[in-house]
Amino acid sequence: MGKKADLLQGTLHLLILKALSVQPLHGLGVSNRIGQITDGTFEVKPGSLFPALHRMEEAGWLKAYWGESENNRRAKYYMLTKAGRRQLETETKDWQRISLGIATALRAT
Amino acid sequence: MRRLFHRAASLWRNVSRKSAVERDLSDELNSHLELLVAAKMKNGLSERDARRAALLDLEGAEQVKERVRESRSGYRFELFLQDVRFAFRTLRKAPAFSLTVTLVLALGIGSTALMFAIVDSVLLEGPRFPEAERLYTLWQRIPEEPRVSFSPKEFTAWQKQTQVFESLSFATGTGFTISGRGDPELVIGRMVPANVFQVLRTVPQLGRAFASSDANQHVVVLSHALWRKKFTAGPDVVGKSITLNGEPYTIVGVLPENFEFEGPDAALFVPVDLTNQMFAQAADAHFLRVIGRVKAGVTRQQLDAEVSLLGTRVDDPDDRTNRRYFALSLKELTTGELRTPLYVLLCAVTFLLMIACANVANLSLARGSARQSEMGIRAALGASRGRLVTQLLTESILLALIGGVAGIGLAVWGLDLLRGFATQNVPELLRAHISAPSVAFAFAVSGLAAVLFGLGPAFAASRASFESVLKGTTRTTTSSERTRQALVFGEIGIAAVLLTCCALMIRSFAALTHADPGFRPAHVIIADLALGKDRYPDAPQMVQFYRKALDAIRNLAGADAIGMVTHLPFGGNSWGNGFDVEGYTPPPNTSYSAQIRPVSPGYFAALGIPLKQGRDFSEQDRENTPGVAIVNELLAKRFWPNESPIGKRIRYSSEWLSVIGVCGNIKHARLDAEPDMEIYASYPQVPAPIMKFVGRDLNFVVRSSNGGSISAELRNTIRALDPNAVVKINTMDARIRESTAQPRFRTWLIAIFSAFALTLACLGIYGVIAYLVTQRYKEIGIRIALGATRANILQLILGRTFRLAALGIAAGLLAAFFLSRFLASMLFGITVHDPLTFVAVPLGLVAVALLAGYFPARRATRVDPVTSLRYE
């Protein structure tokens, strides 16, 4: 299965929010999209994907609805809510601050 | 905020529409699988291979579902409900265990809650007056008496000079005969200054408190109880008239129900001030119980400083006394005597609770080892250790809660029972109620008990491993066996401590009831009566009545000896007075006081007080003959150690009296107190102004071998002389028994607790030995097969029992040896290391322990070697 990075605690939420920022997706769609936008660095397993999706739905960041997939199958779709978009913004800022901090720290001699 | 709302909504959805949520999850995962399969087939796999790969990718639909469930809101709550449901089911499946544990816990928690309720309402709550912590009573101490009241003279001086008291007041008790409403009845009333209710900050429930203009007027404030009894709680009572001692009094107020000042028996309050003739005539008599409210912010040190300062300043320089003045807060005053017994009882129930918890832990451990295979299997099926511990803890908390609720029920019932049993003699119990703090205490205790007895067994059981279960050998056996034996050791030890204390108290109580009062109380009938002021305004009328009554009673058939006394021992009132001995100058700063008893001729014979020297009073010792007195041995030995007291002179008022006789010492009000010095006077010779004050309550004493019939005749005889007199007939034995009501009550309580403790400890022994027998079933079978006799087996098992019990008992006795000194103030007639107790208790305990071990041991002797070898 190749060498995949383990997901950092908390980054999964950010990735899911990001994956859903363009359009609503079903579970497999979210997982594929994350693989795509991270150039295959991250692979999200159903065992962590679905609990995260449900948790985020309960937090009010996502809204779920049943729809038709591209090949006419019934699938449960997730879309960002307003709160979800706000969350994406704050988490993005937080992440940028953290990664900048860590990068600076690693550059230090 | 919004997020919280979302969470709450999801929680509600998860709980209320559980099946719909579950179906949705299942649909979602199915559709996910189908999408995966479709995607794999697009990449060129056959449907079969695609499905296999997809299932592998999913890593188990059930596991994913479980993880989603865990992430849901309310997951923990649901888990908890599951645990509770499961706990209920398991407990129902083991009814004997659940019932025993609930009972044992209810007993422990119930008695603790009950004792705590009593301690809480009697000791911790204290008097119920606004800012009661500022209320203090004032006292004096002299060598002969630890607590002496104030005299009117002293009170006046203190009132003028005090800096720390905002206001001072006092109370003095007196009997009032209520007539005109049903049978005439004697009640205890209090004469108080008009400011007393301001000092206490009590507002009457009806009507008003006294105004200063009320002093010495015929007005009265009734207690709530008297209002209910005499006026059936009628709201229009204010302004009505009531006849007290033959004179009409106007009712101005009724006190609230919980008002309690000067004892629960104070039925009415009458306003006086010190200009009243009664106080003016007895300016130096100590009969005012002083209470005052200190100014806000006054510290105890300031108060004590002033009290000792005023004590020296107010002292009459001529009266070279050794009085010490001191203040007691109202709370100290009302709870002082009860403090030690209540704390001892609280300790006793705490011990009982500890035994109960140990017992429950023991039962749980036994059950835990029986459930090891269940735990092992559940662990093997993937239950985490935390999960198993939570489950077992839920079970014990559930049991503890049920036990706690049952315990509170038991406490409520027990308090009712105690009230009915002892209110008369332990009036403080009236105040006791199961309050919120005591309920909270019971639950705190039961919660603690749950954790205590739940945690150990939970860990022990959860340690069970899969292999050991499969192998049928459980490695926790020895360690849990050791824990159980330690628990039983502790139980027996604590039970031994309790039983030792109990035995000491019973021994002390027996000594108390067998204590010699100094007279012979058997066959003595007492008529207690009070004379109204209307018919007997002054001493001559009173003395005349005594004479007539004594003549009439003397003629009763069956009266072997009769007499009269104003201050009967164990009669509830006393008259302590200073006195002088002719030709004797007391050392500086010393004063003496004695009990003064005006009596009639024949009193000594009637009560059975031995006359050691000289003669009894006679009819010739009258108003106009030379004054005479009889003193007790204590007084005689003190002042005339080497010579005959007969003919010496002594005085308690202005008149000298010649000593004509010496009588034996008697106990005055308590069997466990030392005798006082006593001076007996011939009643007609008591100075009239004093007689008028002390002679209104009196007792006729009749010695007769046929008690039943003479009681009625005695009452009729007195009624014939004065139909308005209040007469109470009683036996001297009953009077003395009443004086021991408190020790009897606490001895009973501690005996009950000890009996519970002993029962529980026996249950513990029985459990451990029975388990031991089951475990060594095979071994016993082999022994029997090899020729061991039944006696050998019995000896083997009883030997184990004995070793277990003996260790615990030894430890318990050692602890009791050191702890028993806390009982010292409650013991009478025995030492805290009473040898009989310290021998009898361990012997008795060993016997009981062996009995508890005997039943399982007997079962062991009936082991059939053939079945035992096939056992397991």
Give B569-590 as a DSSP string.
TTSS---EEE-EETT-PPPTT-
Per-residue pLDDT of B409-428, as tens digits, reads 888 888 888 777 665 556 66
Q: pLDDT per residue over B424-439, tens digit each?
A: 556 666 667 777 777 7
B655, B647, B654: which is closest to B631 by C-alpha? B647
Report residue B321 CA to chain centroid gap.
Answer: 38
Q: Which two tokens stand for residue B539?
A: 């001493």
From chain B, which residues contact A within 8 Å (Cβ)?
Answer: 2-3, 5-7, 10, 24-25, 27-29, 31-32, 34-36, 38-39, 57-59, 63-64, 67-68, 70-73
Q: Please state the rounded mean pLDDT for residues B835-840.
A: 90
- Average of pLDDT values for B589-611? 88
Q: What is the pLDDT of residue B320?
A: 44
B447 pLDDT above the threshold of 80: no
pLDDT at position A2: 39
Helix-helix angle B476-513:B436-462, to 10 degrees: 150
Check: CB of residue B868 under 8 Å from CB of residue B775: no
Check: CB of residue B89 under 8 Å from CB of residue B391: no
Residue B430: its pLDDT value, please?
66
Give dist(CA B814, CA B489) in Å, integer.
14
Contact between B736 and B730 under an 8 Å Cβ cutoff? The reply is no
Within chain A, what is the greatest distance between any pair of CA atoms? 57
| Cβ within 8 Å of B, A 60-99 | 60, 69, 71, 73-76, 83
Partner-chain contact A76 B73, CB within 8 Å: no
Nearest CA in chain A to B37: A28
> What is the average pLDDT score of chain B?
83
Which one of B39, B57, B72 has the shortest CB-CB distance to A54?
B72
Give the minimum alpha-carbon distance from B19 to chain A in angstroms, rounded to a whole number: 16
What distance in Å separates the CA atoms of residue A103 and residue B317, rounded to the nearest whole number? 95
pLDDT at residue number B696? 81
Looking at the predicted structure, is the pLDDT value of residue B384 above 50?
yes
Nearest 5°: the CA angle B637, B638, B641 is 50
Measured CA to CA, the distance from residue B794 to residue B323 in angstroms comes to: 70
Q: What secondary structure letter does DSSP report for B252?
A: E
DSSP letter assigned to residue B204: -
Residues B673/B667, Cβ–Cβ less than 8 Å: yes
Best residue of A1, A12, A28 to probe chain B, by most B CBs closer than 10 Å: A28
Min Cα–Cα distance to chain A from B6, Å: 6
Read off the tokens for B118.
């009593």
Q: Mean of the pLDDT values across residues B387-408? A: 83
Mean pLDDT in residue range A88-104: 90
Q: How far is Cα B736 from Cα B748, in angstroms, rounded to an integer? A: 18
Q: Where are the domains of chain B?
A: 2-73, 144-321, 340-514+741-870, 532-724
What count of residues does chain A have?
Answer: 109
Distance CA B488, CA B845 (A): 13
Task: Check pLDDT > 90 for residue B602.
Answer: yes
Helix (H, G, I), strand (E, B) or coil at A27: helix
Rounded CA separation B335/B686 (Å): 37
Contact A17, A91 (CB under 8 A): yes
Largest CA distance in chain B: 141
How many residues are given for chain B? 872
Give the position of tokens 């990735």.
A15
Q: Give yes or no for residue B497 having a pLDDT over 80.
A: yes
pLDDT at B650: 93
Answer whether B679's CB lies under 8 Å from B579's CB: yes
Q: DSSP letter string over B588-631?
A: TT---EEEEEEE-TTHHHHHT--EEEE----TT--TTSPPEEEE
Q: What is the mean pLDDT of residues B502-507?
A: 90
Using CA atoms, how far apart are residues B178 and B180, in angstroms rounded to an integer? 7
Beta bridge partner(s), residue B248:
B243
Contacts of B63 in chain A (CB under 8 A): 47
Is 50 exceeded by the pLDDT of residue A98? yes
Nearest to B67 among A28, A51, A69 (CB): A51
Size of interface A-B (CB pairs under 8 A): 73
Phi, psi of B631 (to 5 degrees): -115, 160
pLDDT higher than 90, residue B325 = no
- B594 confidence band (pLDDT: 50, 70, 90): confident
Contacts of B32 in chain A (CB under 8 A): 26-28, 46, 50, 75
Smallest Cα distance from A49 to chain B, Å: 9
Asked whether the beta carbons of residue A60 and residue B38 sit closer than 8 angstroms, the reply is: no
Q: Do B59 and A46 touch (CB under 8 A)?
A: yes
Q: Count CB atoms within 10 A of the CB of residue B71.
A: 17
Say if CB A74 and CB A68 are below 8 A apart: yes
- Is the pLDDT reported for residue B559 higher than 90? no
- pLDDT band, residue B477 (cuts 50/70/90): low
**Which of B20-29, B380-389, B501-510, B842-851 comes out lowest in average pLDDT?**
B380-389
Q: Among positive and negative, which fits the CA dihedral B401, B403, B405, B408?
A: negative
Query: Is B7 a residue whose pLDDT tops 70?
Result: yes
How much of chain B, in percent, has pLDDT values that exceed 90? 19
Per CB-CB distance under 8 Å, the chain B contacts of A50 are 25, 28-29, 32, 64, 67-68
Q: How far is CA B814 from CA B325, B375, B380, B818, in A?
A: 42, 41, 48, 7
Inspect the interface and report whether the beta carbons of B28 and A58 lie closer than 8 Å: no
| A57 interfaces chain B, CB cutoff of 8 Å | yes
Degrees, nearest 5: CA angle B794-B808-B100: 75
The angle that helices B476-513 and B835-861 make with each other, rounded to 10 degrees, is 140
Mutate to test the interface with A, among B11, B25, B26, B28 (most CBs of A within 10 A): B28
Q: Angle formed by the axes of helices B385-422 and B330-370, to 10°? A: 140
Q: Buried b / exposed e across B261-295, counting CB within 10 Å, b at 16+?
A: bbeeebbbbbbbebeeebbeebeebbbbbbbbbbe
* Residues ≥6 apart with Cβ < 8 Å to B60: none
Question: Which of B32, B55, B58, B62 should we substitute to test contact with A (largest number of A Cβ atoms within 10 Å)?
Answer: B32
Q: pLDDT tens, B72-93?
A: 777 777 778 888 888 888 888 8
Give the integer Cα–Cα distance in Å for B601 and B616: 6
CA distance B392 to chain A (A): 28
Query: Nearest by CB to A73, which of B24, B31, B64?
Result: B31
B714-750 pLDDT tens trace = 888 888 888 877 788 889 998 888 888 778 888 888 8
Domains of chain A (ranges, CATH numbers): 11-107 (1.10.10.10)
Lowest-confidence segment of B309-318, B354-363, B765-774 by average pLDDT? B309-318
pLDDT at position B871 is 60
Instruction: Categorize the per-residue pLDDT at B463 as very low, low, confident or very high, splitting at 50, 70 and 90.
Output: low
3-state class percentages of chain A: helix first, strand second, coil last, to nearest 5 = 55, 15, 30
Rounded to whole angstroms, how far apart are CA atoms B507 and B499?
12
| CB atoms A50 and B28 under 8 Å | yes
Predicted confidence at residue B759, as pLDDT, reads 85
B756 closest CA partner among B340, B422, B407, B423:
B407
Contacts of A75 in chain B (CB under 8 A): 31-32, 35
| Structure confidence by residue, pLDDT tens digits, A2-58 | 344 455 657 888 999 999 998 999 988 999 899 888 888 888 888 888 988 988 888
Secondary structure letter of residue B140 according to DSSP = E
| Calpha distance B17→B14 (Å, rounded) | 6
Tell me what pLDDT residue A3 has: 42
Minimum-distance CB partner of B7 among A28, A47, A58? A58
Cross-chain Cβ contact B32/A26 below 8 Å: yes
**3-class state of residue B253 by DSSP:** strand
CB-based contact B602:B616 (threshold 8 Å): yes
Q: Do A76 and B24 touch (CB under 8 A)?
A: yes
- Report the distance separating Cα B717 and Cα B525, nearest Å: 14
Q: Which residues of B touch A26 (CB under 8 A)?
A: 31-32, 35
Region B160-175: mean pLDDT is 88
- How deeply is B239 buried, as exposed, middle or buried, from its count of CB atoms within 10 A (0-12, 13-18, 19+)? exposed
Percent of chain B with pLDDT over 70: 91
Q: CA of A81, closest CA in chain B: separation in Å?
A: 12
Neighbours of A16 (CB within 10 A): 26
| pLDDT digit string, tens, across residues B626-684 | 999 999 999 999 999 988 999 999 998 888 999 999 999 999 888 888 888 999 999 99
* pLDDT reported for residue B426: 62
The ipTM, to two decimals, is 0.84
Neighbours of B795 (CB within 10 A): 15
Residue B456's pLDDT is what? 65
